Amino acid sequence: MNQLSEQEFAIYQAAKDLAEMIEAIEGVDTKIDTLNEVRRILHEVSPMKHHPVDWVYWERSNLVESNEYNPNKVAPPEWTMLNQSIQQDGYTMSIVASKEDGVIKIVDGFHRRLVERTNKEVSESTFGRVPLTQIRKEVSGKGDRMASTILHNRARGSHNIELMSQIVTELVEMGKGDAWICKHIGMSADELLRMKQITGLAALFRNESFSQSWEVEGHENGVEEMEFENDGQ
Place 201 in a pLDDT band, splitting at 50, 70 and 90.
very low
pLDDT, greater one: 156 or 90: 90
Q: Comparing 90-104, 108-122, 180-194, 204-218, which segment has the lowest mean pLDDT?
A: 204-218
Higher pLDDT, 1 or 209: 1
Most confident of 33-37, 206-210, 228-232: 33-37
Domain boundaries, the chain: 7-45
Read off the pLDDT band of 207 (50, 70, 90): very low
Measured distance CA(164)–CA(30) in Å, rounded: 40
**Is 80 exceeded by the pLDDT of residue 90?**
yes
Instruction: Output the pLDDT for position 194.
Output: 73
In this prediction, residue 209 carries a pLDDT of 41
Kindly indicate the confidence band of residue 101, based on its pLDDT and cuts at 50, 70 and 90.
confident
Across 22-31, 84-93, 179-188, 200-209, least confident range:
200-209
Q: Which of the two residues, 71 and 162, has the higher pLDDT score? A: 162
> How far apart (Å, rounded) are the C-alpha atoms in residues 146 and 168?
9
Residue 85: predicted pLDDT: 93
Which position has the higher pLDDT, 230 or 29?
29
Please tell me which residue, 148 or 102, carries the higher pLDDT value. 102
Calculate mean pLDDT across residues 22-44: 97
pLDDT tens per residue across span 144-169 = 767 667 766 654 555 566 666 777 77
Helix axes 161-173, 189-202, angle to 10 degrees: 100
Its pTM stands at 0.66
pLDDT at 217: 46
Residue 70 has pLDDT above 80, yes or no: no
